[in-house]
Amino acid sequence: MKIPYVMTPGPTQVRENVRMARAMETTNPDLDLQFYDYYRDTCERIGKFLKTKNEVRILSGEGILGLEAACASLTEVGDRVLVIDNGIFGEGFADLVKIYGGEPIFFKGDRQKEIDVDELRRFLEKDSNFKYATVVHCDTPSGVLNDVSKICPLLKEKGIITVVDSVSAMGGEELRVDEWKIDIVLGGSQKVVSAPPGLTFLSISEDAFKTMESRRTPIASFYCNLLIWKDYYKNKWFPYTPPVSDIMGLRAAVDNLLEDEDILDRHKRIGKAVRRAVEKAGLSLYVKQGYSNTVTVIEVPKGIDDKKLRNYMLDKYNVLISGSFGYLEGKVIRIGHMGENARIDRVSYTLFALQRALEHFGYILKCDIVNEFLKEQ
C-alpha cells in the first residue's frame, strides 16, 4: 500500500508518537486494575482539552457511535427532540432520534450559513418543549461552523439538554464545554485529534446522567448505553473489553494537543489564509458565513469533474483530498487542514497540487494560489 499525503477532513495524518503508542505492549484491561486508572486518567486529559469537569467516556467505535450513544441513551418513545439542521450531519441526527422512537422536530437553517441564533431564539419562544436538542459544531460535508457558544446556553436556558457533535471541530476550534453549558459533546479519534479511526469519546454532564436515570423505560441498546459506563471505575467493570492499543494511541494524540499551545491560533491562521487564497485565485467557497477553520469547502468550477480532478491530484502528486456527499456530491471538493494537517508545508503542497490539477483540466487561476496562501503566514 502506498500511503498518500492524506489531506481529507478526517481521517488525518497520524504523528509518529501516536503510531508508536499503539505498538506498545498491552495488558488485559478488564483484569489488570491498573488499566482502570489509565483509562480514567486518559478521560481526564480529554476533559482538560474540552474544558470540562464533566465525566468523559471513551467508546470503541468511531464518531457515529458517539452520536448514536447520545441519542439511544436520552431518547424514549414519544420524546420530542429538537434537531438543529443546516447540513448533512445536522439532518442525520433525526434518523437516530427516530430509531429510538423519538419525534424529531426540525429547526432548519440556511445550508451555506451558520445557524441564526436570533431566529432560533424566536423559534424557542413559541415552542421549547423538547427533552434535548442536537446541533453539529462543524458540519464537515459543507464546512459550516455553528456558534455553539451561543446556541447551547440559549437551549439550556429553556431547560433543554444539549447534544453537540463536535467530531470535526474540537481541538481545532474553541470549545468550552462547561462555560457553554454543553451536556453531551462527542468527538472522534480520526479528525483534529489525529489518531486513526476507531474511537469516539463523550463528555456527559450530571444533568444528562440524571435524564438517563429518570427514564420511564430502559435504554434500548447495550453497546450505545452510556448509563452502564457511569460507575465503571467504582465497580472496576467495563461493559466490554476496551481496545487497549487504540486508547494508548488516543492518549498520545490528546497529549500532543494539550502540549500544542498554538493549535487554535494556527487553525485560525491557516483556515483564513486558505479561504483568502482560494477566493483570490477565482474559486468560490461553498460557505457564505460561519467558516470552519478545520476544513475548506470549494465549489467545483463549471465544466470540471470533481472525481477526475481529485484522481489527478492523487495519481500525479499523491495528494488525497475529498469530494462530498448527499446534496453536495460532485459539487464541491474539500481540503482538511485539521490537527496534524494544519501545517503550512502540508497545506502549501496540497494547494500546489490543486492548482496543477485545475490547470491540467483547463481552469486558469487568477493568481498563484500557494504564493497567496503563504503571504500571511
Q: Single out the segment in contact with ligand PLP by CB under 6 A; choices: 42-50, 60-68, 154-162, 314-322.
A: 60-68
Closest alpha carbon to 166 in 112, 156, 154, 149: 149
In the complex, minimum distance from the CB of residue 376 to ligand PLP, in angstroms, rounded to a whole number = 27
Closest alpha carbon to 306 in 279, 327, 328: 328
Distance between CA 252 and CA 365 in Å, rounded? 41
In the complex, minimum distance from the CB of residue 188 to ligand PLP, in angstroms, rounded to a whole number = 5
Q: Single out the segment in contact with ligand PLP by CB under 6 A; choices: 34-42, 101-109, 165-173, 272-280.
A: 165-173
Which residue in 55, 62, 85, 114 binds ligand PLP (CB under 6 A)?
62
The answer to whether 184 contacts ligand PLP (rule: CB under 6 A) is no
Q: Which three cell numbers stand for residue 307?
A: 472525481
Which residue type is seen at 224?
Answer: C
Which residue in 29, 63, 104, 109 binds ligand PLP (CB under 6 A)?
63
Helix, strand, or coil here: 184?
strand
Q: Which C-beta is closer to ligand PLP: that of 224 or that of 369? A: 224
Torsion of CA 189, 190, 193, 199, to 10 degrees: 0
Tell me the longest C-alpha to C-alpha distance in the chain: 64
The answer to whether 188 contacts ligand PLP (rule: CB under 6 A) is yes
Which residue in 6, 7, 8, 10 binds ligand PLP (CB under 6 A)?
10
Question: Locate cell 505498538: which residue?
Answer: 23
In the complex, minimum distance from the CB of residue 214 to ligand PLP, in angstroms, rounded to a whole number = 28
In the complex, minimum distance from the CB of residue 164 to ligand PLP, in angstroms, rounded to a whole number = 10
Peptide bond into 11 cis (omega under 30): yes
Residue 334 counted as an annotated binding residue: yes
Distance between CA 82 and CA 91 in Å, rounded? 11
Task: Show contacts with ligand PLP in window 71-110 (CB under 6 A).
Answer: 89
Question: Locate cell 487542514: which residue?
Answer: 337
- Closest residue to ligand PLP: CB criterion: 63
The answer to whether 198 contacts ligand PLP (rule: CB under 6 A) is no
Helix, strand, or coil here: 135?
strand
Task: Show contacts with ligand PLP in window 235-254 (CB under 6 A).
Answer: none
Distance between CA 198 and CA 176 in Å, rounded? 24
Closest alpha carbon to 177 in 337, 56, 69: 56
In the complex, minimum distance from the CB of residue 276 to ligand PLP, in angstroms, rounded to a whole number = 24
Q: How far apart are the first and last CA of the chain?
A: 34
In the complex, minimum distance from the CB of residue 375 to ligand PLP, in angstroms, rounded to a whole number = 29
Q: How many residues bind ligand PLP (CB under 6 A)?
A: 12
Binding characters for ligand PLP, 125-154, by CB under 6 A (x = yes): -----------x---x--------------
Q: Which C-beta is closer to ligand PLP: that of 22 or that of 191? A: 191
The answer to whether 165 contacts ligand PLP (rule: CB under 6 A) is yes
Pairing of strands 295-299, 161-165: unpaired
Closest alpha carbon to 197 in 13, 53, 28: 13
Buried-state track 154-193, b at ≥16 Cβ within 10 A, e below 16: bbbeeebbbbbbbbbbbbbbebebeebbbbbbbbbbbbbb
Q: Single out the segment in contact with ligand PLP by CB under 6 A; choices: 61-69, 73-81, 122-130, 235-243.
A: 61-69
Q: Single out the segment in contact with ligand PLP by CB under 6 A; choices: 32-40, 120-128, 161-169, 201-209.
A: 161-169
Round the CA-based radius of gyration of the chain to a whole number and report it: 21
Residues of this chain that bind ligand PLP (CB under 6 A): 10, 62-64, 89, 136, 140, 165, 167-168, 188, 191
Q: Which residues are annotated as a binding site for substrate?
A: 334
